[in-house]
Amino acid sequence: MQQAVFMAHCPYELGDIVEVAIIEGMAITGYPRRLGTAEMQITDIITEHSLKNGTVSFIYELDGKKRMRLIPWNELTKRSEKH
């Protein structure tokens, strides 16, 4: 078995309130319109570490119900510009 060690900085803490727009199954933060957004509390943070890629990502439990990655709006728009 291989030992894995990683250090990661999560931009949020348990109990933080984030404004989220759920669009096509994605949780978007920093959405430019207030309509269609909701304030949600982060109730758990799950850390996902990829040995192959050497990356760490976070999955957030929102309001004790949904587990999703939070995608910043500006990152999403950069992705769509590349395609």
Torsion region of 46: left, alpha or beta (phi above 0 gives left; psi -120 to 50 gives alpha)? beta
For the stretch 27-52, pLDDT in tens is 999 988 878 899 999 999 999 999 99
For the stretch 46-63, pLDDT in tens is 999 999 998 999 999 999
In a domain, 25, yes or no: yes
Angle formed at CA 27 by CA 25 and CA 30, multiple of 5 degrees: 140
Domain membership of residue 27 as a residue range: 17-82
Query: What predicted TM-score, i.e. pTM, was given to this entire model?
Result: 0.80
In a domain, 4, yes or no: no
How high is the pLDDT of residue 80? Answer: 62
Question: How big is the chain by its Cα radius of gyration, in Å?
Answer: 14
pLDDT, average across residues 11-23: 94
In a domain, 9, yes or no: no
Number of folded domains that form the chain: 1
pLDDT at position 83 over 60: no
Q: What is the dihedral of CA 46, 47, 48, 52, to 10 degrees?
A: -170
Please state, in angstroms and rounded to a whole number, the distance separating the CA atoms of residues 47 and 27: 17
